[in-house]
Amino acid sequence: MLGEVTDLIEKHQKFAITSHIRPDGDGLGSSLALNWILRSLNKDSEVVMRDPVPQAYLNLPGASEVLVVPDLDCQYDAVFVIECSDVTRPGLPALNTQFVVNIDHHTTTELFGNLNWIDSTAAAVGEMVYNLAKAMGVKITPEIASCVYAALLTDTGSFHFSNTTERTFKIASDLVKYGAQPAKLSQAIFYQYPYAKIKLTGAVLSTLQCDETGKIAWIQMTHKAMQESGATEEDTDGIITYPLTIGDVEAAAFFRELANSTYRVSLRSKNRVNVAQVAEHFGGGGHKNAAGFTRVANYDELSRDVLARLKAAVANAPALNGHGNEIKPR
Ligand code: AMP
Ligand code: MN
């Protein structure tokens, strides 16, 4: 699949790159890195997003050039769609009339592209974009290195999650050699929060509950709590990590009321439990250990249904052996 993508780039000139609404570190870092790669190959390329660049990523090289628009307004030779589960995720309707290259590392993605390059072994799409640069003989500049590093750093939960492999560290090591500055990037991404985010985190964590097994924890946020703290939806990112830091907890949910009973739900789990399947049931997607979906619903009904499915996911998860590895049925 990588070969078809490099062929396409070699044969064409005019490209756009996009990712999902409310782009995260991998969506943005990979898009910006690919933009630098295409430009270094003397291609016409731009990053086009429906939503603005979150504060945490404003310092990434090229972030200020991202075009924030409600839709695409011209024809490209190809549009690269980075880490999206389906063609509607970027929120750009005119994608339907473009030649689309779907680049993703999620197992739950639809093969919606004219070309689909999917590598579920990659910790982040950043790894794939880095491999693309190498395959095309592109010199890894500090700009490319910084953007790919941001993608790896955020999608691996600062190298905490089980998608972190030897290859991830090998690439991260190369990136530092090529000019990515780990402390500077971590500082920009994780130590520049607004005051309101931490106030909101306090309010949300005070709603923490656990089920009778102690294995499932959940938190909730009302729209009122978000408004009272002066925080934005972006400020709610990352709060879901806290319930999962409880020793016994294996799966966690965060119910966010955005408006009009619209709930954005984040699901997280420790290694053996698969929450992607739970998210898919509710029309979303994601990874085995980090998934989500958005729904208009009544809170009591929604939380009851989600928690029941999380319980089943924990109950059905494979057992672990003494080394912490899954015991696979023969
Ligand atoms: P979040 O909890 O929003 O940070 O999302 C965690 C993971 O789930 C990410 O990898 C997302 O790509 C995926 N995800 C979240 N919401 C959706 C959705 N509505 N559709 C598909 N994937 C989603
Ligand atoms: Mn990703």
CATH architecture classification, 2-190: Alpha-Beta Complex (3.90)
Identify the pLDDT of residue 42.
Answer: 98
Counting ligands in written order, the one closest to the CA of 151 is 2
Dist. CA 307–CA 125, nearest whole Å: 30
Mean pLDDT by 10 residues, the chain (330 residues): 97 98 96 98 98 96 98 98 95 98 89 96 97 98 98 95 93 98 97 95 98 97 94 93 97 95 96 94 92 96 98 91 58
Q: Find the 44 Cα to ligand 2 centroid distance in Å.
A: 25
Looking at ligand 1, which residue's alpha carbon is closest to its atom 22?
A: 285
Edge-to-edge strand list for the sheet holding 100-104: 67-68, 44-49, 14-19, 78-82, 100-104, 115-118
Q: Indicate the top mutation candidate among 24, 26, 28 to test ligand 1's pocket, ranked by most ligand atoms within 8 A of CB.
A: 24
The reply to whether 2-190 and 197-315 are identical in fold is no
Nearest by Cα to 119 from 165, 158, 160, 157: 165
Q: How many CA atoms lie within 13 A of 12 on its CB side?
A: 17
Counting ligands in written order, the one closest to the CA of 275 is 1
Q: Is 163 in the pocket of ligand 1 (CB under 6 A)?
A: no
Q: Find the 138 Cα to ligand 1 centroid distance in Å.
A: 31
Nearest by Cα to 223 from 206, 242, 236: 236
Q: What is the pTM of this model?
A: 0.90
Looking at ligand 1, which residue's alpha carbon is closest to its atom 8?
A: 291
Looking at ligand 1, which residue's alpha carbon is closest to its atom 10?
A: 286
Q: Indicate the top mutation candidate among 19, 26, 85, 120 to test ligand 1's pocket, ranked by most ligand atoms within 8 A of CB.
A: 85
Identify the pLDDT of residue 327.
Answer: 61
In the chain, where the domains are located: 2-190, 197-315
Identify the pLDDT of residue 108.
Answer: 74
Q: Find the 94 Cα to ligand 1 centroid distance in Å.
A: 22
Nearest by Cα to 34 from 84, 115, 103: 103
Q: Is 17 in the pocket of ligand 1 (CB under 6 A)?
A: no
Q: What is the CATH number of domain 197-315?
A: 3.10.310.30
Q: Find the 130 Cα to ligand 1 centroid distance in Å.
A: 23
Q: Indicate the top mutation candidate among 22, 89, 262 to test ligand 1's pocket, ranked by most ligand atoms within 8 A of CB.
A: 89
| DSSP for 122-142, written as a single string | -SSHHHHHHHHHHHTT----H
Q: Find the 167 Cα to ligand 1 centroid distance in Å.
A: 24
Nearest by Cα to 266 from 246, 284, 248: 284
Q: Is 36 in the pocket of ligand 1 (CB under 6 A)?
A: no
